[in-house]
Amino acid sequence: MLDYDVKYLRYKTFLNTYCPHCNNSFNVKKDNKELLVFKAKFKKQDIDILMSPYLDVFEVEASVPLNEGDKLSDLICPHCLKSLITEEMKCDECNTKVAKLIITAYSKLLPFYICLQHGCEWHGLTKADERRIKLKIPRQEMPEQDQKLRIHNFVEVPYGLTTELALLEAGRCLQCKNPKCVDGCPVNIDIPEFIRLLCEEKFNEAAKKIKERNVLPAVCGRVCPQEDQCEKLCILGIRDKPVAIGNLERFIADFERKMDLVKIPIIKSKTNKRIAVIGSGPGGITVAADLTLLGYSVTIFEALHQSGGVLVYGIPEFRLPKSIVNFEIDYLKRLGCKIELNHVIGNIHTIDELLENFEAVYIGVGAGLPRFMKIPGENLCNVFSANEYLTRINLMKAYKFPEYDTPLPKGDKVAVIGGGNVAMDCARNALRTGAKEVTIIYRRSRIEMPARNEEIHHAEEEGVKFKLLTNPILYVGNDNNWVKGVECVNMKLGKPDDSGRRRPVVIKDSNFYQEYNLVIVAIGNGPNPIIFDSTPDLERNKWGYIEVNPETMETSKEFVYAGGDIVTGSATVILAMGAGRAAANAIHKKLSGKN
């Protein structure tokens, strides 16, 4: 048996290790003099016992010098001289015997195993303990900008997870054998796998893993309603809070972008087939990226002067910084995808004309026609659709008026009609552009609100008021035709309707009047007529949206595909991306099968 010194020791969080037999502590000090001394015999010249466990609770590295010809036999407690090698467990990687120590984690004594084989880094707890510890780690929340400060700027509200927080949060994932979260994701990202890579600090690999299924992780990590998708199905969510999958996705994507790790893949098999994509929103971007990677030459037609669709005109800067969208668009261009701005399809080219030059056409134009309630006074000055209000601020940068030329709608007392994410965006924009009081008027109760909890919570934090179970019936104007107030009625919830939500019913004689000088109507969008006017043979459903084969997204016209809001009505970014993915696959199948 040989005596040897541990060469160096490094730890992030103090870890006490004890002998499982005599319960004496192996005193660990940073100073090189009084280090833990293991007594052991090894057959190899050098061995690294690398204890960088899976959890970020602690990290210890020990290096052991050995003499030539030594046999691997034992690791012995310096106090009781008993062997620490155990039969209880075997190394997962090399199937050899492992040493057992006792560690303290979360004020509990837990058995901990390390493999002594040269080059093997395996270490771990018993499965049950590992699970128990993971369940003890609370869900890590993102640091956020102070609520009083942030209503005076357009800087993004959450700062994102730090590397430490992300590793801690990722450590919570149980790595289920049969992961439910993947089913909850509309584009089926391999969530456990990217989290595993993240745990191993392989951030770049994790980013690649996500990008196999999702071309816009930085966007989706921010705006996806994860609580209704992947996180809703997370096993941890049954007893505690689910793993913050969205925040981890965002962390990975931000890391990749900030560290400049994004690489342009080489596209091997180029075809000479051309695809036209109408609309550069999330759906169009997905189709374009997927098909470009498959070797097609893709042209995107965008009606506005900037690409990104709802990501640039709709979602506010403080929720999704435009620099991120621009980065993703830039990536698309670097892939080789062409983007034609200022092209309103239907007017400048009809779909039939596009089919003459392109093998297939994807319609991802969104539902761009704001709905109004058709109540008196809706066309008074300072009554806006959410689309107009947001477009002025986000796309046209009216909040920088007069540096930018587009005027900013202003009002002290603002009413926002509706309870969706867009309503929250409008309300929070109003606060940031000088409104003294902002009220959300919604006809159902808080539970039925379609907005994400996070958005409602942020709005509340920032001081937005909520008038629930209330519906406007009339806008009152002053002599100059400017809105000065809203007449509302109170509502109560009746029986559930087709959507499963309880239908709001008017309470008789509950009318009341409230003063507002800026009203924003955020009750959704209908289908935009421009494409249909020039393409009458495109079949549509009873709501006016395009009818498609739900599997291939092909429309009634051959080689014309559609997806996103123009098929489903107002929905989410990720659903549009899911539809884009399905369409890209179908287009590839159809076009590659033809020759």
Q: Which residues bind another protein (CB under 8 A)?
A: 303-305, 313, 341-342, 344, 347-348, 368-370, 372, 374, 378-379, 381-382, 384-385, 387-388, 391-392, 395-397, 400-408, 480-481, 528-530, 533
- Report, in Å, the least distance between residue 391 CB and another protein: 5
Closer residue to another protein (CB): 176 or 395: 395
Tracing tokens 């779909």 back to the chain, one arrives at: 351
DSSP state of 158: B
CA separation for the pair 97, 198 (Å, rounded): 28
- Report, in Å, the least distance between residue 191 CB and another protein: 34
- Report, in Å, the least distance between residue 316 CB and another protein: 16
- The widest CA-to-CA distance across the chain, in whole angstroms, is 100
Closer residue to another protein (CB): 166 or 520: 520
Going by C-alpha positions, the residue among 452, 415, 130 that lies closest to residue 319 is 452
Closer residue to another protein (CB): 310 or 431: 310
CA-based torsion, 317, 395, 521, 369: positive or negative: negative
- Report, in Å, the least distance between residue 485 CB and another protein: 17
- Report, in Å, the least distance between residue 529 CB and another protein: 6
Six token digits for residue 234: 């997370």
Going by C-alpha positions, the residue among 186, 183, 205, 185 that lies closest to residue 194 is 205
Helix (H, G, I), strand (E, B) or coil at 153: coil
Closer residue to another protein (CB): 63 or 406: 406
H or E segment to which residue 521 belongs = strand 518-521
Helix locations, 153-244, DSSP H: 163-170, 181-184, 191-199, 203-211, 217-223, 230-233, 236-239
Q: 444: Cβ–Cβ under 8 A, 6 or more apart, which residues?
A: 419, 468, 469, 491, 493, 501, 502, 504
- Report, in Å, the least distance between residue 389 CB and another protein: 9
- Report, in Å, the least distance between residue 568 CB and another protein: 18
Closer residue to another protein (CB): 277 or 289: 277
- Report, in Å, the least distance between residue 422 CB and another protein: 13
| Cα 239 → chain centroid | 23
Side-chain-side CA neighbours of 444 within 13 Å: the count stands at 19
CA separation for the pair 111, 133 (Å, rounded): 12
Six token digits for residue 63: 């290096």
Closer residue to another protein (CB): 184 or 281: 281
Burial of 10 (0-12, 13-18, 19+ CB in 10 A): exposed
- Report, in Å, the least distance between residue 510 CB and another protein: 27
Closer residue to another protein (CB): 38 or 389: 389
Closer residue to another protein (CB): 69 or 407: 407
| C-alpha dist (Å) from residue 521 to 151, 370, 419, 431 | 21, 9, 10, 16
Q: Which long-range contacts (CB under 8 A, 24 or more apart) does 398-407 make?
A: 399/154, 399/429, 399/432, 399/433
Q: What angle do CA 426, 504, 565 make, to 5 degrees?
A: 50
Closer residue to another protein (CB): 327 or 532: 532
Closer residue to another protein (CB): 260 or 403: 403
- Report, in Å, the least distance between residue 306 CB and another protein: 9
Closer residue to another protein (CB): 294 or 408: 408
Percentages helix, strand, coil for the chain (3-state, rounded to 5) are: 30, 20, 45
- Report, in Å, the least distance between residue 346 CB and another protein: 9
